[in-house]
Amino acid sequence: MGLKSFRPVTPVLRFRTVADFSEITKDTPEKSLTSSKQRTNGRNSYGRVTVRFRGGGHKRRYRFIDFRRDKVGIPGRVAAIEYDPNRSARIALVHYADGEKRYIIAPIGLTVGQQILAGSDAEVKTGNALQLKDIPVGEMIHNVELQPGGGAKIARGAGTAAQLMAKLDAQYALVRLPSGEQKKILLTCRATIGTVSNPDHANVVWGKAGASRWRGRMPHNRGVSQNPVDHPHGGGEGKTSGGRHPVTPWGQPTKGFKTRNNKRTDSSIVRRRK
């Protein structure tokens, strides 16, 4: 795991970096665990743009990832570490003792040939999935469920990890999320030991506009460069800053304006993120 830089034979290559993919051991995905991926390009079912600046990009196949880790008590062997174009982390192909194959999110340190297990009998080591009640306090975890059996929702991106801070009572654990927020989560929720792979993902420099287009990102033009009919920041003589209060094209305040509003989950938050 690392980054590869280039000799600056062109202006783009002077700063461009890419992952070296040294941990990848298999080039083609397991066919039975993939499906075609329909591209929406930011359009809804009526064909109207609902997310701006999306479109194009390289064709992808979707890999089915086991976020539930519900093969309890059945040991599995890591057969390969693979690239997944649909996520920032690497994925691991696991061959289970009963003959089934599944993909999981690969944590840092998971190697080909390693045995992994899910369930209360599993050892506390990288790649094993246990309920929070069976994990020691202070352990770094990822793929954390919010509802028992609901599948992992927290700490799935490259280089991320949550930390089990405490077991508050017979029902809840206190987990610190990658954002710094501390949240109460049921002890019967499952999590995987370790930190998600590919931590250098955050340090990659695309280097050119084309690299954004490969990923399905279209050019993003600023509000101040538009006309008044198209954006609240638009218009004016010469260059203007766009007004005193930055807003979206639809008038919603931005740049620090809090939009989080979910009373259903507010009670589980012990400490807000910074």
Tens digit of each residue's pLDDT (9 = 90 or more) over 131-165: 999 999 999 999 999 999 999 999 999 999 999 99
Q: Give every CB contact of residue 193 below 8 A, 6+ residues apart in sequence.
A: 107, 124, 125, 126, 127, 128, 129, 130, 135, 139, 140, 141
Measured in degrees and rounded to the nearest 5, phi and psi for residue 200 equal: -75, 0
What would the pLDDT profile of 53-78 be if each residue is shown by its tens digit? 999 999 999 999 999 999 999 999 99
Tokens (6 digits) for 66: 């086991």
Query: What pLDDT band is residue 244 in, cutting at 50, 70 and 90?
Result: confident
Per the CB < 8 A criterion, the answer to whether 194 and 158 are in contact is no
Distance (Å) of CA 84 to CA 29, 58, 75 = 9, 13, 24
Instruction: Please tell me the predicted confidence (pLDDT) of residue 243.
Output: 77
Average pLDDT of every residue of the chain = 95
Query: What pLDDT band is residue 242 in, cutting at 50, 70 and 90?
Result: confident
- Classified as helix, coil or strand, 177 is coil
| Predicted TM-score (pTM) of this structure | 0.92
Tokens (6 digits) for 213: 């287009």
Query: What pLDDT band is residue 240 in, cutting at 50, 70 and 90?
Result: confident
Mean pLDDT computed over 197-209: 96
Query: What pLDDT band is residue 188 in, cutting at 50, 70 and 90?
Result: very high
- Is the pLDDT at 105 greater than 80? The verdict is yes
- Classified as helix, coil or strand, 153 is strand
Instruction: Please tell me the predicted confidence (pLDDT) of residue 168.
Output: 93
